[in-house]
Amino acid sequence: MNNTYLSINSDFTRSTIRSWWRDLSENRGDRADLRRCHDLTEVFFCPSFHRLYLSLLTEGKVKREALALVTVALAHVKEDISGVTFAQQMGEYRHGQTPQISKMRFRKLVRCESYPELFLPVTRVIRMMDGVVNIDDLVKKLYFWNEKSRKEMTFEYFEKVLQSEGSQGGKKNE
C-alpha cells in the first residue's frame, strides 16, 4: 500500500469512482443496500463500499468515513452533469420561483462539521435535486469536507442565487 493519501483529483481516482457509480446503476441490489443505510457505520457493511475502497487503496491511504459518505451520496445520483458545481446547482432557480435548495436548507447543510452529521442532509439534498448532480464536484466537496470547502460552496451557492434573482428583476421571497 502507498504511504501517501489518495488524490481525489487524479484521473485514476475520478475514473475509478465514475466506473463504480456506473456499475451501481446496473446492480440495483448494491444501490438499494446503500440507499437503505441510516448512518456511515451501516455503509461499512455494504460490499459495494468495500469494492470501491479496495480499488482506491492502490493510489494511497483512503479516508474511510469520507469515502463512505461519498458512496452513499453517489447511490442517490441518477444523472451526472458538468459545467456547474454542486453548490451552484442548489442555487439555481427552479421554475423561476425559488432556488432548488432553499437558503435555510443550504445553511443547515454547510453548518455540518463532520461526515456523520452530513450524512442525512446531503442525501436529502441530492434527492430534492432529483439525483442530477455534478459527480466530480460532489465527490471533491464531500471527500474534503472542511471549512474551506464549506466557504467555497457558500460563495458558489449565493453567487448563483443572486444571478437568478437579478435575472428575475429583483429579490424573491422564500
Contact 81, 133 (CB under 8 A): yes
CA distances from 38 to 123, 124, 149, 168 (A): 10, 12, 24, 39
Cα–Cα distance, 161 to 164 (Å, whole number): 5
Question: Cβ contacts of residue 149 below 8 Å, gap of 6+?
Answer: 140, 141
Q: Is 165 helix (H, G, I), strand (E, B) or coil?
A: helix
Prediction pTM value: 0.90
CA angle 27, 65, 141 (to 5 degrees): 85
List pLDDT tens digits, range 116-164.
999 999 999 999 999 999 999 999 999 999 999 999 999 999 999 998 8
Q: pLDDT exceeding 90 applies to what percent of the chain?
A: 83
79-80/93-94 β-pairing:
unpaired
